[in-house]
């Protein structure tokens, strides 16, 4: 078993610690804030009380797992770790500083990983004297429950390290996918149109939030509609990710943020957590009934779906990940009812092309440009699977 060092005692770091401890690894969880460590320990104890009550573990097993985690406030405890995973604030300079500090303490063979969801692994690795041992290991929140883990080798990462990490992640019961070090990796890149195109439909006055959400849950089988989901995630998080992905893609119009969401963010209307977002969560306020116009619902569903498919197809075209990993990432990372490339085959590759060409011809905007892979597939009468 490996010794794992985790930096950050928040929900993410604690969740990752639990994942490894449950599989018998010894974990050192570090935070500069002693209160955060105490809270992490208490929360884990409560979690295991519930798991014992549900008969998932015996009391002895629960005790043993909790004893696998050591809560430390000094990085010296990382001298013997085999793998360090950093799960702190999404700030490049802070992460680079932490990696520099850690590199002075750990052994030469220790692997250094970041749990970043959006920052460049190459930039983080550049702060190290041995950048070849740096890699991205992106767990999804809550880590103990979410199956997906994105593994991101940087341009500096030594060959074979991604496969080694993939094996380790599989051994702790997770589903790893390997992705190139590009903005948003797989999930945060491919999922953008689910939000962006829904807002665009709203801004154009084609339909209201209730109807757009209903179209995606009733026809698409999504667990939540885009507006419900954005309110659930919080606009302080979702808008910032949209903005950072747009900037990171050299302001590609496909990832352009919306003023509607920006204004909610500026107003502090973050969604459920603040009581108001696209919906008002005050007591006694009910959502309006969605339109039952089948033609309108299909128009909304088709438009958002083909935009999602186009994004997944373009990621494949640019060799960001394999088609299997792209589909796994969307079903296991954001609970989509189907992998988007499988969905494309079902919907019809030619239908995807025609719908997107129609949008492009109508708007003459680059956000609707069709990925070359789809045009080629139509020409050669191919499918993804």
Q: Tell me the Cα Rg of the chain.
A: 22
Which residue in the block uniquely carries the two structure tokens 């084609």? 206
Neighbours of 302 (CB within 10 A): 17
Q: Element (H or E) spanning 134, and its range? A: strand 134-139
Of 150, 197, 210, 311, which is the active-site residue? 150
CA distance 237 to 48: 29
Pairing of strands 83-86, 3-7: parallel
Which residue in the block uniquely carries the two structure tokens 């105490």? 38
**Nearest Cα to 260, choosing from 180, 203, 325?**
203
- Reading the block at residue 30, the tokens are 């570090």
How many residues would you count in the chain? 385
Active-site residue, 351 included: no
Q: How many Cα atoms sit within 13 Å of 151 on the Cβ side?
A: 21
Q: Element (H or E) spanning 175, and its range? A: strand 175-178
Of 188, 244, 310, 371, which is the active-site residue? 188
Pairing of strands 111-114, 134-139: parallel
Of 138, 238, 244, 371, which is the active-site residue? 138
Of 14, 114, 115, 117, which is the active-site residue? 117
183 Cα distance to chain centroid? 11
Active-site residue, 311 included: no
| DSSP H stretches of helix in the chain | 11-22, 34-53, 59-67, 92-103, 121-125, 161-171, 187-190, 192-203, 209-218, 226-233, 235-248, 259-267, 294-317, 323-333, 340-347, 349-363, 372-379
Sign of the C-alpha dihedral computed for residues 216, 222, 226 and 232 taken in this order: positive
Active-site residue, 188 included: yes
Active-site residue, 150 included: yes
Residue positions annotated with a catalytic role: 117, 138, 150, 188
């Amino acid at each position: 078993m490996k010794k794992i060092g985790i930096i950050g005692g928040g929900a993410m770091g604690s969740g990752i610690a639990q994942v490894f401890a449950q599989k018998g690894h010894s974990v050192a969880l570090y935070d500069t804030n002693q209160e955060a460590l105490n809270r992490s320990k208490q929360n884990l104890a409560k979690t295991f009380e519930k798991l014992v009550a549900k008969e998932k573990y015996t009391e002895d097993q629960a005790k043993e797992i909790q004893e696998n985690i050591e809560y430390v406030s000094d990085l010296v405890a990382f001298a013997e770790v085999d793998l360090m995973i950093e799960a702190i604030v999404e700030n490049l300079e802070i992460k680079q500083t932490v990696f520099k500090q850690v590199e002075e303490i750990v052994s030469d063979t220790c692997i250094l990983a970041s749990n970043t969801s959006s920052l460049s692994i190459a930039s983080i690795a550049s702060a190290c004297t041995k950048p070849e041992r740096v890699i991205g290991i992106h767990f999804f929140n809550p880590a103990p429950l979410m199956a997906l883990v994105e593994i991101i080798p940087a341009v500096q990462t030594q060959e074979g390290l991604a496969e080694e990490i993939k094996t380790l992640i599989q051994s702790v019961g997770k589903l790893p996918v390997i992705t190139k070090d590009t903005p948003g990796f797989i999930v945060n890149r491919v999922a953008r149109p689910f939000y962006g195109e829904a807002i665009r439909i709203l801004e154009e006055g084609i339909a209201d939030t209730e109807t757009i959400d209903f179209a995606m849950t009733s026809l698409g089988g999504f667990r939540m509609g885009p507006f419900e989901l954005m309110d659930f995630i919080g606009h302080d998080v979702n808008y910032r990710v949209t903005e950072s992905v747009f900037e990171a893609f050299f302001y590609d119009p496909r990832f352009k943020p919306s003023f509607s969401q920006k204004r909610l963010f500026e107003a502090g209307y973050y969604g459920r957590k603040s009581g108001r977002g696209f919906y008002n969560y005050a007591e006694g306020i009910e959502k309006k009934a969605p339109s039952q116009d089948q033609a309108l619902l299909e128009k909304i569903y088709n438009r958002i779906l083909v935009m999602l498919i186009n994004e997944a197809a373009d990621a494949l075209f640019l060799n960001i990940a394999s088609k299997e990993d792209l589909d796994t990432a969307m079903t296991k990372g954001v609970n989509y009812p189907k992998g988007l490339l499988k969905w494309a085959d079902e919907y019809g590759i030619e239908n995807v092309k025609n719908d997107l060409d129609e949008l492009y011809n109508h708007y003459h905007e680059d956000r609707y440009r069709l990925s070359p892979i789809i045009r080629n597939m139509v020409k050669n009468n191919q499918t993804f699977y």
